[in-house]
Chains A and B, each alone.
Chain A
Amino acid sequence: MIKKTFKVPDMTCTNCAMKLESLEDTLDGVKEINASYHKLLMVIEYDEAKLTEEQIIAAVKKKGYQAVSV
């Protein structure tokens, strides 16, 4: 398990954070996601054997946001 932080600059409300956190339920290999609208950050703890950074970025994009690895 590793923990990675992404900057998500186009969050516009707390609901955006909730939407990103919902990736917890759909992305295989994710243990926990904490997204903050205040900081425009998303911290994701995941199994790198099951999931790659690119897949995370793609999943975030599917939600309508751009994620940039910090």
Chain B
Amino acid sequence: MSRNQKPPVDPVILVMIGIVFIAVAIGLAVVQSGPNSGTIANDSGTMSQLLVAFVTGLTTGGLSCLAVQGGLLASSLAHQIEQDYVQQAAHHQPRKKSNVQTPARSNSAFPIFLFLVAKVVAYTLLGGLLGWLGSYLTLSPMTRAFLMIAIGIFMVGNALRMFNVHPIFRYFSIEPPKFITRYIRRTAKGTDTFTPIFLGALTVFIPCGITQAMMATALGTGSVVMGAALMFAFTLGTSPVFFVVAYLTTELGSRLEKFFMRFVAVVVLILGLVTMNGGLNILGSPLSLQNLARSLFPSNSGPAPVAQANQPAPVEGEVVLYVQNEGYFPQTLSAPAGKDFMLNLITDKTYSCARDFVIPALDFYELLPDTGNVQVSIPAQEKGSKLFFTCSMGMYTGQIVFE
């Protein structure tokens, strides 16, 4: 992989690197200076969702997308690289061991930029469409749980594929139909601006695991504008990492690509496990990481809630759970066995997804008011049994132990 010339710094690259830094800075600044002192939620919760989408894209989505969609991007650049190679070959004798095509000078920054712009536009439109569809069908927590577990398995399978653990994992990589790949290839003939734009738009047909999760979230918004905004924020977030990695891999060759692919595999593996764990939480499975930890370390009831001191003492036959931006307090509640009782859910300026309260075993799901008191009737349970509760994302969890 020898290179004869050192490419001069392309102005487009400088601009893009600037955008990368600005995007990272904005991402960090917005998260840190979020309203409500330390929480990224705001009054409507909309900004919170958009920021989470952006940061998810910025931190992990780019790598995951690149693992799945890198092929399309490479296709859009392949012809240009091939042309460079052919031009070189026409002027020089073919060199030995030139098995990897690395152009001496290729202007890949601008096509990557166009590709990403097209991708952002296409996913924004897709988000709008999903939001519109979501307004007709609502995902129940159980559906979402199964979806998350399926996505998690897909991501873990893909990570194991990238690690080359077993040939069976190759089937986790979805091969686009031949007519699509052929059409894309035939389209990717020129180095004009149309090709990367068109191929960038085509990425909607091969979303990565994290993108699929975000698409499911867009579907769940049930709103055209929110769905579009969510996908826009996420795809915009993926763009800097996507650009840098794509640029480096196309410019610096396969050795670096292998390194990045291993890194991507680790990230995808972790995210896959986290997604599956979230799904298990929503199902109320005792096998989720949090529920297992609580079984192994029963004293873990979490820190005392801030607002607890100002609340009235619980009434007989009532169990109080504080629903806060950081989760549920206490995380482990005790309740008398063999008796019906009321679970009193208290929110106080709670804007995080903890408001989306789910008790999987009772098939109970309710979006709590940001400030208020909601009572849930819990039927009598056997002594020693546990009732798990969670937010609808499977992020915040807790349990009621019957004694």
Residues of A within 8 A of B (CB): 12-15, 17-19, 21-22, 24-26, 34, 36-38, 40, 61-64
> For residue A21, which residues in chain B have a CB less than 8 angstroms away from its CB?
181-182, 185
Cα distance A40–B72 in the bound complex, in angstroms: 19
Q: Given A22-B78, A25-B185, A37-B170, do A17 and B99 touch, yes or no (CB 8 Å)?
A: no
Whether B185 contacts A15 by the Cβ 8 Å rule is no
Contact with A along B136-176 (1 / 0, CB 8 A): 00000000000000000000000000001001001101111
> For residue A63, which residues in chain B have a CB less than 8 angstroms away from its CB?
101
Which of the residues A15, A34, A61 comes within 8 Å of B71, measured between beta carbons? Answer: A15
> For residue A14, which residues in chain B have a CB less than 8 angstroms away from its CB?
71, 173-176
> For residue B167, which residues in chain A have a CB less than 8 angstroms away from its CB?
40
> For residue B306, which residues in chain A have a CB less than 8 angstroms away from its CB?
none
> For residue B101, which residues in chain A have a CB less than 8 angstroms away from its CB?
62-64
> For residue B170, which residues in chain A have a CB less than 8 angstroms away from its CB?
37-38, 40
Whether A17 contacts B185 by the Cβ 8 Å rule is no
> For residue A19, which residues in chain B have a CB less than 8 angstroms away from its CB?
74, 78
Cα distance A40–B71 in the bound complex, in angstroms: 16
> For residue A26, which residues in chain B have a CB less than 8 angstroms away from its CB?
82
Q: Given A18-B75, A18-B185, A21-B185, do A64 and B100 touch, yes or no (CB 8 Å)?
A: yes
Whether B171 contacts A15 by the Cβ 8 Å rule is no
Whether A15 contacts B74 by the Cβ 8 Å rule is yes
| Shortest beta-carbon contacts, A-B, top 10 | A15-B71, A14-B175, A38-B170, A18-B181, A64-B100, A64-B99, A14-B173, A22-B185, A15-B74, A38-B171
Whether A37 contacts B181 by the Cβ 8 Å rule is no
Cα distance A63–B102 in the bound complex, in angstroms: 11
CB distance from B96 to the nearest CB of A (A): 11
Closest to B168 in A: A38
Cα distance A3–B402 in the bound complex, in angstroms: 69
> For residue A37, which residues in chain B have a CB less than 8 angstroms away from its CB?
170, 173, 175
Cα distance A25–B261 in the bound complex, in angstroms: 28
CB distance from A27 to the nearest CB of B (A): 13
Cα distance A13–B186 in the bound complex, in angstroms: 20
> For residue A61, which residues in chain B have a CB less than 8 angstroms away from its CB?
99
Task: Report if B254 contacts A (CB, 8 A).
Answer: yes
- Chosen A-B contacts, 10 in total, with CB atoms closer than 8 Å, are A13-B70, A14-B173, A14-B174, A15-B72, A15-B75, A17-B175, A17-B181, A18-B181, A37-B170, A64-B99
Which of the residues A12, A22, A24, A36 comes within 8 Å of B175, measured between beta carbons? Answer: A36
Whether A62 contacts B185 by the Cβ 8 Å rule is no
Cα distance A37–B162 in the bound complex, in angstroms: 12
Cα distance A39–B75 in the bound complex, in angstroms: 21
> For residue A64, which residues in chain B have a CB less than 8 angstroms away from its CB?
99-101, 254
Known A-B contacts: A14-B174, A25-B185, A36-B175. Give 9 more (CB < 8 A): A14-B173, A14-B176, A15-B71, A18-B71, A19-B74, A21-B181, A34-B178, A38-B170, A64-B99
Cα distance A19–B182 in the bound complex, in angstroms: 11
> For residue B174, which residues in chain A have a CB less than 8 angstroms away from its CB?
14
> For residue B181, which residues in chain A have a CB less than 8 angstroms away from its CB?
17-18, 21
Cα distance A62–B353 in the bound complex, in angstroms: 52
Closest to B174 in A: A14
> For residue B78, which residues in chain A have a CB less than 8 angstroms away from its CB?
19, 22
Cα distance A61–B94 in the bound complex, in angstroms: 13
> For residue B71, which residues in chain A have a CB less than 8 angstroms away from its CB?
13-15, 18
Cα distance A25–B173 in the bound complex, in angstroms: 25
CB distance from A64 to the nearest CB of B (A): 5
Cα distance A13–B78 in the bound complex, in angstroms: 15
Cα distance A12–B174 in the bound complex, in angstroms: 13
Closest to B175 in A: A14
Cα distance A21–B100 in the bound complex, in angstroms: 17
Cα distance A36–B173 in the bound complex, in angstroms: 11
Whether A62 contacts B99 by the Cβ 8 Å rule is yes
Cα distance A7–B22 in the bound complex, in angstroms: 46
Closest to B189 in A: A25
Cα distance A12–B257 in the bound complex, in angstroms: 12
> For residue B182, which residues in chain A have a CB less than 8 angstroms away from its CB?
21
Cα distance A18–B174 in the bound complex, in angstroms: 13
CB distance from B176 to the nearest CB of A (A): 7
Cα distance A21–B176 in the bound complex, in angstroms: 13
Contacts of B159-208 to chain A: CB distance below 8 A:
164, 167, 170-171, 173-176, 178, 181-182, 184-186
